[in-house]
């Protein structure tokens, strides 16, 4: 396990949950923090008593119960200032991820939003795409080879993950270099 702390937006949780691979986050990053606003979004099917629960939700709830997926609010004056500054340019979840990553001095912010990626980098926060999380899993042996990587990425897309075709091709090419 690479002992780090990551702050995650909803996309990695949802799609790794849909793949039954949410444990990748635990194995790769140790502790994963989810901003409170993102948590509210993720558990909406429960709080609104949806008739049909999304397939990812059971895995997300279990990870929270196991204690490695933690819910936290932005609390410090600096964190709240960053959150206020990001509000006009990012969605609330993306802004919370960056502000909380800065506040907690997390190693990585996990987001699949291009603007959030760019702003995180400008603010000195290392950000990773969903494809990069899968690459970390490949590098560490959680994914056995580039074929499994490609399968998991395409299965995520089939289940609703949106990434550009160019980003998908690039990610698969990078994965193929790991032999």
pLDDT for the residue numbered 33: 95
Contact between residue 17 and residue 56 where contact means Cβ atoms under 8 Å apart? yes
What's the pLDDT score for residue 98?
92
* Tokens describing residue 24: 């990748």
What pLDDT was estimated at residue 1?
A: 46
Per-residue pLDDT of the chain (179 residues; tens, 9 = 90+): 445 789 999 999 999 999 999 999 999 998 999 999 888 888 876 666 767 767 778 889 999 999 999 999 988 898 888 888 988 888 888 989 999 999 888 889 999 888 998 999 999 999 999 999 999 999 999 999 999 999 999 999 999 999 999 999 999 999 999 76
pTM for this structure? 0.89
List the domains of the chain with CATH numbers. Answer: 4-129 (3.40.50.1010), 131-176 (no CATH)
């Amino acid at each position: 396990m690479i002992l780090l702390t990551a702050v995650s937006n909803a996309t990695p949780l949802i799609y790794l949950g849909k793949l039954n691979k949410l444990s990748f986050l635990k194995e790769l990053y140790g502790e994963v923090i989810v901003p409170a606003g993102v948590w509210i979004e993720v558990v909406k099917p429960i709080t609104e008593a949806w008739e049909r629960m999304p397939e990812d939700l059971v895995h997300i709830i279990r990870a929270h119960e196991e204690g490695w997926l933690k819910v936290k609010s932005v609390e410090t004056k600096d964190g709240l200032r960053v959150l206020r500054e990001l509000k006009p340019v990012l969605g609330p979840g993306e802004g919370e991820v960056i502000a909380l990553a800065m506040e907690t001095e997390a190693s990585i912010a996990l987001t699949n939003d291009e603007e959030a990626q760019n702003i995180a980098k400008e603010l000195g926060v290392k950000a990773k795409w969903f494809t990069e999380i899968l690459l970390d899993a490949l590098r560490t042996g959680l994914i056995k080879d580039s074929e499994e990587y490609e399968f998991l990425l395409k299965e995520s897309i089939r289940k609703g993950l949106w990434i550009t075709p160019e980003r998908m091709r690039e990610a698969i090419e990078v994965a193929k270099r790991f032999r």
